[in-house]
Amino acid sequence: MTTETFDPKNAATAYDPNEAPSVSMTEAAIAHVRKQLVKNPAMKGIRLGVKKSGCSGFKYDIEFVEQPASGDQIIDVADDVKLYVAADAAPYVRGTEIDFTREGLNSTIKFNNPNAKDLCGCGESFSV
């Protein structure tokens, strides 16, 4: 496993830990999160993190939260929807688009992550 570090000499492509991650959500994903937040008024947004897990190395971790954790980067994806990105997840999810799809009775949150080099067959984990 390799991780990126910030090198000011190569700032155009390196991860800057002080830069907010460019994570976005599609309108479908925002609408899905909005519905969940209405059902749970105490929740203020969702947190995106990654955990070491799965056959490819990492898995996405999404949770509805009442407040951001220390170090979370806050992204206002809509006036009423906040996305908190865990600080340790930022280099792995930079540039990711979160989508929500519905096919028949199945619904899925999908992560379109340009940093993912390999995905496992089930789509649950990735490597960078």
In the chain the domains, ranked by start, together with CATH numbers, are: 20-127 (2.60.300.12)
Q: What is the pLDDT of residues 6-56, one digit of tens each?
A: 333 333 344 455 555 589 999 999 999 999 999 999 999 999 998 887 666
Tokens of 77: 């994806």
What is the reported pLDDT for 76?
Answer: 94
Q: What is the pLDDT of residues 49-88, one digit of tens each?
A: 988 876 667 788 899 999 999 999 999 999 999 999 999 9
What is the reported pLDDT for 108?
Answer: 87
| Nearest of 21, 30, 91, 93 to residue 61 by alpha carbon | 93
d(CA 113, CA 95): 6
Phi-psi region of 24 (alpha: psi -120 to 50; beta: other; left: phi over 0): beta
Pairing of strands 106-112, 24-25: unpaired
Measured from the Cβ of residue 106, the count of other Cβ atoms closer than 10 Å reads 7
